[in-house]
Structures are given as structure tokens and as C-alpha cells.
Amino acid sequence: MVIITVLQMRESFKLPVMIYLNFSDLNGGAQERLLESSKKDVEQKFGDDIRKYAKEHCTNFDVMIEEEALRNLYSYTYVFNI
């Protein structure tokens, strides 16, 4: 089972988000859970701005959230438990 811990102190202290992963379970399901976590994070932080941009430029909001969630994954710091 993947253990995912996201430190929410990132916003108040400008610290990077740390994700703790169990190295024995990095399958597709674990990757999907990470992406879903990132989507929620992006939507919580930037959802209104992205929704406004999508409406103004006639683009799909869900596609934009997914693209931003993928970019957001690169901002996380990963710690692997082996």
C-alpha cells in the first residue's frame, strides 16, 4: 500500500510538499492516486482561476485541471521508503 503524506504547511511556510511512498507498491493504481491527489490540490488552489480562463478561452476545464495536475506533480518532493 502506498503511504501518501502531503504536508499542508507548504502554503504558509513556502515549504515543498513531501510525498512519502512505499517503494514496494509503485503500480498504476498508486500513480493514479498521486494524480488524483494532485488534481484536488490544483483545483483547491487554482480552480477558480482555471475555470475563468477555460470559460474565456472556450477550453475544457477538466483537461486543463489534468494538465496542471501533471505539472504540479513535479513540484512535490518524493521520499521513498525501501
Tell which wins on pLDDT, 47 or 75: 47
- CA distance linking residue 10 with residue 19, whole number of Å: 12
For 10-25, what is the mean pLDDT? 56
- CA distance linking residue 66 with residue 33, whole number of Å: 13
- Please report which confidence band the pLDDT of residue 3 belongs to, taking 50, 70 and 90 as the band edges: very low
Can you give the pLDDT at residue 8? 33
Whether the predicted pLDDT of 61 surpasses 90: yes
Can you give the pLDDT at residue 75? 82
SS3 57: coil
DSSP 8-state class, residue 75: T
